[in-house]
Amino acid sequence: MKREDLTEKILDMKREKGLTWAAIAETIGGYSPIFITAALMGQMKLPMPQAQKAAALFGLTEAETKLLNEVPYRGSLPTLPPTDPLIYRLYEVVQVYGTTLKELIQEQYGDGIMSAIDFDMEMERQPNPKGDRVKLTLTGKFLPYKYYGAEDGLPDYGYGNP
């Protein structure tokens, strides 16, 4: 079985049982609802205790349970730019504000990147009379680039001035 097939099976079972991602995450437990959802969508490795709880919830086989526990091939966009309107808007945010965020992050932290591995994300609904708003909070560890061959007291890493 391919991981994509397992994701489709989980989505079918979610639909059949009338479950929400919040209810699924609460049942599986141990991690944030965003992490649990990402794992069940095939983007994260689900630790075995949570994989076993997912198996019980969705009626998965032993092989499918083990597949949830394997390191996935991450990145699921079949086309760039993405064609799904919601995903495209997130892509558009990066297109429009990516260079700005890069400049501001690197001005404050130095020459480096924000990790998507040592990373956390939260999503929150903010009521608004003109239409509810989606609040995404992304936090990733700053990883400075290493400057190889540094000599004479020059810095090894691209940290900026705090």
Q: Give the pLDDT score at 76.
A: 73
Please confirm, yes or no, whether 62 is among the known catalytic residues: no
Q: Note the pLDDT tens digit of each residue in 29-56.
A: 999 999 999 999 999 999 999 999 999 9
Measured CA to CA in angstroms, residue 130 lies from 90, 93, 126, 127 at distances of: 21, 21, 11, 9
Q: Give the pLDDT score at 63.
A: 98
Q: Which amino acid is at 89?
A: R
Choosing from 4, 16, 92, 107, which is the catalytic residue?
92
Domains, in order of start, for the chain: 3-68 (1.10.260.40), 85-144 (3.30.1160.10)
Environment class of 104 (CB within 10 Å of its CB; exposed 0-12, middle 13-18, buried 19+): exposed
Choosing from 4, 16, 115, 122, which is the catalytic residue?
115
- Residue 77, pLDDT > 80, answer no
- Residue 162, pLDDT > 60, answer no
Q: Mean pLDDT highest for which of 21-30, 82-91, 96-105, 106-115?
A: 21-30
How many Cα atoms sit within 13 Å of 156 on the Cβ side?
0
Q: Note the pLDDT tens digit of each residue in 95-106.
A: 999 999 999 999
Provide the percentage of residues in the chain whose pLDDT is more than 90: 80
Measured CA to CA in angstroms, residue 144 lies from 106, 120, 121 at distances of: 9, 18, 21
Spatial neighbors of 23 by CB under 8 A, at least 6 apart, are: none
Q: Give the pLDDT score at 161.
A: 60
- Residue 152, pLDDT > 70, answer yes
Please confirm, yes or no, whether 115 is among the known catalytic residues: yes
Q: Give the pLDDT score at 154.
A: 84
Please confirm, yes or no, whether 133 is among the known catalytic residues: no
Choosing from 16, 32, 89, 107, which is the catalytic residue?
89
Arithmetic mean of pLDDT, 137-142: 96
